[in-house]
Amino acid sequence: MPEKNGISILDVQNLNAFYGVVQVLWGVSFTVRKGQVVCIIGPNGAGKTTTLNAIIGALKSSHGRIIFECQDIGGLPPYQRVLRHIALVPEGRQLWPGMTVEDNLKMGAFPPVFRSRAAKNLELVYGLLPRLKERRHQLAGTLSGGEQQMCAIGRGLMAEPQLLLLDEPSLGLAPILVDEIFNFVGDVAKKGVTILLVAQNIDYALRVSDYGYVMETGRIVLQGAGDMLLNDHHVQQTYLGGTEQLGAAYAPS
């Protein structure tokens, strides 16, 4: 496995999870190392969002371990995981549309331990996302889709994450905005934030990721470096339309 510094920040070990009586995760295991962008890719309904919900504690796992910075956090409630600097940017952004951009960002620092540093962290977010600073008094519901996604990511950064969980950050966005969002994900990673990314937009996710896992029907079926998975026959045929289409899509103009 390619490593940034070789130190594991997250180890998920043999994770099983259920929705009611229906099992949705089957022995899921993977590792995220500090400084990496790691993606979990696969079709809709594969269990990718469920995995993130189990890591943040929104869904209780029935079996397995979630080790974050050498501590088993599987029994902790979600708020305690946030206090350990894990932040989730959920699918669909889930902003408060009737609140301003700045108030939405401040909600990311709602736990008292973060409030004393909220002003400083707000300036850091605005430094990364100057467009949000320009719109800080604008209602979040009036932003474009791409701006709303940036606001949701900025809100996640207000919790000073050591691990940022991104669930489908490009969902519903026009192609030009998808470029912008994934470029921003790369910029966040360069600031030292470790990222676990879930995406159906497989080719973008693999290009920005150091390492990737392919999930199908609640199981990890393939793993490898991002560029290796881009060239994997199963990934190309199943998700990227075959090598000829992939080559045509990225031929030099």
Tell me what pLDDT residue 29 has.
98
Under DSSP, the state recorded for 140 is G
Tell me what pLDDT residue 5 has.
55
CA distance 223 to 149: 28
- What b/e sequence results for 147-166 when a residue is b if at least 16 CB atoms lie within 10 Å of its CB, and e otherwise? bbbbbbbbbbbbbbbbbbbb
Fold topology of 8-85+161-249:
Rossmann fold (3.40.50)
CA distance 208 to 131: 22
Which contacts qualify for 112-117: CB closer than 8 Å, 24 or more apart? Answer: 113/83, 114/158, 114/159, 114/160, 117/160
Distances (CA, A) of 171 to 3, 92, 130: 28, 7, 22
CA distance 109 to 121: 9
Residues 6+ away with beta carbon under 8 Å from 75: none
The segments of the chain whose pLDDT lies below 70 read 1-5, 242-253
Q: Where in the chain is the domain with CATH 3.40.50.300?
A: 8-85+161-249
Residue 83: count of CB within 10 angstroms of its CB? 14
Phi/psi class of residue 29: alpha, beta or left (left: φ > 0; alpha: ψ in -120 to 50)? Answer: beta
CA distance 169 to 198: 8
Phi/psi class of residue 35: alpha, beta or left (left: φ > 0; alpha: ψ in -120 to 50)? Answer: left
Residue bearing tokens 């594991």: 8
Tell me what pLDDT residue 252 has.
34
Tell me what pLDDT residue 251 has.
34
